[in-house]
Amino acid sequence: MKSHKPLQIALLTAVLLASVSPLSSASAASDSALSYKQFLNDKYAITLSDSLSKGDFVIAVNNILKAEAKDQTNVFTDLQKDSPYFKAALALHEKGILSEGKLQGDQPLTQLQATFIALKASGLKELAYTYPKDKIKAALAKVHIDYDQNNQLTLQAAQELAAAIDTGLVSSDFQADTTANPTFANDLLGKILTFTGQYKHYLGSTSDSDIFRKINDAWHTEDIISSTDLRAVFDEALKKNLVTGYNLKDSRFDANFDPKQSLTYGHSDITHAIQLIGLLRSENIQAKVQLEPKTSAFIYLKEWGEPTQTEDYQVVQIENGNFIAYAKEYDIEFEFDNAEQKNKFQQIVLQYAKKNSEDQTGLIYSSWWQPLYYSLTELKDYKVIANNKVTKGHYYAQSFSLSDKSEEVSAGLKKINANLNVDSYKFWVDEPFYNYLLGDFK
């Protein structure tokens, strides 16, 4: 038991306060324009009107790319500096996405214009300019364009359109001169996000035949996260008993799932994750799956004995003789097909993945007394707690707390470093873990 006690406490206290990624980005080809529309609205506050202009599209693309022109010289003859399109157009010009001359921002956006902009914004123009005539002809034939008979396309324009077709930016129902409606534009914007790595990140779905291999591969290439600046602050918080545990994560692995249909499940044993996905499959639960690396830090008491260190479990001794331990763990993100399946998740976990007695059988491997899973949107029978999060570059540290302790934690972290920006927000956690925060260790 001695050898397991520190690890079990690591699993549970890593996120305790008073008790409290990049992997492959799956293709979004199957995502509908409706999914893209929701994502664009949620993450970028982009909503396209039915009367979509070229300038509107330029603004939307620039909101995604977050570009800002260093040179403010006006290269557009039909734009004034007070135009709503000016900053976005200048920024996209500087990135080589728009050409100087006339923007014609108030004109209706055509599918062809939108495609040229999207191709370059997706970082595909060098690929396009490798296309010889025979590949151009073959690609354009897929959208029923005879390149030999079409005199409207320059060689460069034809190359860009051909590459857009072959990479899936546009589909076979493309109509060059047709006005681009919001559905077409949202689809292009979503694909820009995909090509630039800003859309949803996931390894696959629970139903995929190779999902177990992908989960294992992701886990075995994960290392303990060492963000020196964040560790220094939160380690000090541990020493001051401000928090009893915290997590380190890397935002490059964030799933970016729709919060209304997603849940986060935390654990440390990869066999548990494999069996959990198998369990969901057996219950006909369909969900996208992302494994997000996580390192949990907590106080390891000297009376537990000399700790054994491995690549996945490291300790540093502190002034009072105790240690701070850093353990490799993970968060597994699920985006369910619908809200009903998300709601069903808790019933499955409580029946097959929550330990209620020492000799209990019929559970998946390494089930915890207090499983940890949570939602960023409200769910029935879940409890509200708080997350206290500090970001540095693409790394962030977070410690969970009871809601009424959040202000105290935030203030304490700022005392350690006055320059910190502590993002404290509420979320909904399963009741067993909430009870653990109240001091119920079983």
Residue 410 resides in a domain: yes
Query: What confidence score (pLDDT) does residue 15 get?
Result: 35
Residue 423 resides in a domain: yes
The enclosing H or E element of 207 equals none
* Token couple for 438: 């109240």
Both 349 and 429 in a single domain?
A: yes
Both 318 and 433 in a single domain?
A: yes
Both 328 and 230 in a single domain?
A: yes
Both 420 and 326 in a single domain?
A: yes
Residue 152 pLDDT > 90: no
Out of 178, 195, 212, pick the residue that ends a domain: 195
Out of 195, 230, 257, pick the residue that ends a domain: 195
Query: Total domain count for the chain?
Result: 2
Residue 312 resides in a domain: yes
Both 389 and 346 in a single domain?
A: yes
Residue 22 pLDDT > 70: no
Out of 165, 195, 225, pick the residue that ends a domain: 195
Of residues 325, 308, 307, the one with CA closest to residue 316: 325
Residue 442 resides in a domain: no
Q: For 292-326, how does the pLDDT look when each residue is reduced to its tens digit (9 = 90+)?
A: 999 999 999 999 999 999 999 999 999 999 999 99
DSSP state of 309: P
SS3 159: helix
Are residues 297 and 14 in contact, defined by beta-carbon separation less than 8 angstroms? yes
Q: For 250-260, how does the pLDDT look when each residue is reduced to its tens digit (9 = 90+)?
A: 999 999 999 99
Query: What confidence score (pLDDT) does residue 100 get?
Result: 86
CA distance 194 to 82: 32
SS3 32: coil
Q: For all residues of the chain together, what is the average pLDDT?
A: 91
Are residues 70 and 93 in contact, defined by beta-carbon separation less than 8 angstroms? no
Residue 149 pLDDT > 90: no
Q: Which domain holds residue 172?
A: 33-195
CA distance 120 to 159: 12
Both 157 and 242 in a single domain?
A: no
Q: For 87-144, how does the pLDDT look when each residue is reduced to its tens digit (9 = 90+)?
A: 999 999 999 999 989 999 999 999 999 999 999 999 999 999 999 999 999 999 999 9
Q: Average the pLDDT over 316-338 and give the result.
A: 96
* Token couple for 319: 């002034």
Residue 172 resides in a domain: yes
CA distance 356 to 363: 10
Both 379 and 404 in a single domain?
A: yes
Residue 104 resides in a domain: yes
Confidence of residue 6 (pLDDT cuts 50, 70, 90): very low
Both 70 and 168 in a single domain?
A: yes
Confidence of residue 439 (pLDDT cuts 50, 70, 90): confident
**Is the whole model's pTM more than 0.75, yes or no?**
yes
Both 187 and 229 in a single domain?
A: no
Residue 9 pLDDT > 50: no
Q: State phi, psi for 171 to the nearest 5 degrees.
A: -110, -175
Confidence of residue 151 (pLDDT cuts 50, 70, 90): confident
Both 10 and 60 in a single domain?
A: no
Residue 136 resides in a domain: yes
Both 18 and 60 in a single domain?
A: no
Both 423 and 305 in a single domain?
A: yes
Residue 242 resides in a domain: yes
Of residues 85, 99, 19, 90, the one with CA closest to residue 56: 85
